[in-house]
Amino acid sequence: MNSDAEISRTNINVKRNFLFLFLAILIVFPVLMTASYLLLLSAMKSKMNNNAAINIAGRQKMLINKYVKEFVEDRIPLQVRFHKQKTEAIDTLEIVKDQKPYTKEVEGFEANSFHRTREIFETSLAALINGGTVLLDMEMTKSTTIPAVVNPTIRSKLIEAEKLWLLTLEHFNKLLVTEPDSSEYIIAHNEGSDTANDISRIMDQVVTSMQIDLQNKLDRINMFQIVVILIEATLFLITWVFIYFKIVTPLERKSIDLENQRELYISLNSELAKANEKEKEQNWLAAGQARLNDVMRGVKEINTLSRDIICCLAPYLHAQVGAIYLADYDQNLSLAGSYALKNQGDSRQDCKFGEGLLGQSAKDRKCKILTNVPDGYFPIRSGLAEISPRNIIIKPFLYEGHVKGVIELGLVSEFSGKQMDFLKLVEESIGIAIHTAQSRRQLQDLLKESRCRS
């Protein structure tokens, strides 16, 4: 008893643990789905921001080159005449020639695209470092907001580019106050160009680093999504296994059990119906036998007994017409009684063994069944019409192996096995009753003959 109780408690604990696991999976699964969805949205947003930052960083190189061109070539034409007074230091410097006449006073210097280029470059660089608004076009009408760069390596390069930009401005501003054919002018020009080139190089490095950083982020996000998908697939598999083994399988077993019970119930009902039908048949056979025995009980003259027998058998077997023939010692059959049989004179009164179906059945001592009987063979008489049965049974009855007579019954419908069983059941009792009546009649005839002689 204790062992059974322990097993029962163990089963309950296992089921409870499975239920908790199933509930945990149901909770974790949507959480992971939500996290995966939010992560995907975050990745898309991050990719858009990083792409915008990469485009802005790539544009910085173009802006610095544009600024140098506008400042140096377009607005401050540089004309340095080659002459003998140059020092040895100046001879090593790059000399830029321009056909435009030199002028120190530049009209409208702060009102051209040069100023816009500088402002766009500075605001873009500040937005990359600290985050903020970035101008998108040279007309300064469109803007967007980008987050600050968080990668420390890229951030340090941007800060370095910012410092070089200030140094570039410092060098270029010297060009405005320095004589063009002086060494300071050429040094400032070349140093400004070098720092501008360094900014371009750094911005190329920044773009490359940002692209690599974005790809790394995307790879990490993809890896995380793969892990989440694997976890979700595992949880789904666990859930499916749980549902299959804890819900589907028991339901299938229950369905099989119910199907087996249904089949057993149907089988039992069928057996019960068969038993009831068998019992009804047995009761019907017993009731018919009892009724026939009541009819045959008592001392009756042979013809009266024959009529009573056929009048009992025909309606009980639902036969529409019937006749009983008795055999004598010379193997002649004579009509002794009938039921609903039309009087046909002597045509159906007597026959010998072996004559016709009736005589042949008596001779063979075998029952004969006729189907699709032609009209007029065994007519059924009524007050309104005359019909012929479609099926006829000819049944001899015996006593101690000797044929005592033949019973002939006609039915509109087919004979059933139950009707055949009844005839077989009462065959012997009919033979005994007829033999007894015949013996009594012979005894009476002998007594009469004895009295007449005395």
Question: For position 218, what pLDDT does the model report?
Answer: 80
- pLDDT higher than threshold 60 for residue 94: no
How far does Cα 110 stand from its chain's mean position?
Answer: 77
pLDDT at position 107: 39
Mean pLDDT of 295-315: 90
- 333 touches 354 (CB < 8 A): no
Beta bridge partners of 143: 135
Contact 351, 333 (CB under 8 A): yes
Taking only the tens place, the pLDDT of each residue in 210-262 is 888 888 888 887 887 788 788 777 877 877 777 777 767 777 787 888 888 88
- Per-chain mean pLDDT for the chain: 77
At residue 85, the pLDDT reads: 34
Return the CATH architecture of domain 300-453.
Answer: 2-Layer Sandwich (3.30)
Write down the residue that tokens 């007597």 correspond to: 350
- In the chain, ranges of CATH 3.30.450.40 domains: 300-453
| Number of C-beta neighbours around residue 96 at 10 A | 16
Query: Cα 244–245–249 angle (5° rounding)?
Result: 80
Residue 401 in this model has a pLDDT that exceeds 70: yes
User: For residue 132, what are its two tokens?
Assistant: 């903020």
Provide the 8-state DSSP code for 351.
E
Residue 451 to residue 448: CA distance in whole angstroms = 5
> So what's the pLDDT on residue 409?
92
pLDDT-based confidence at 93, cuts 50/70/90? very low
pLDDT of 34 over the 70 cut: yes
Confidence label for 396 from pLDDT (cuts 50, 70 and 90): very high
- Give the lowest-confidence range in 108-122, 131-145, 153-167, 394-408: 108-122
Q: How confident is the model at residue 315 (pLDDT cuts 50, 70, 90)?
A: very high
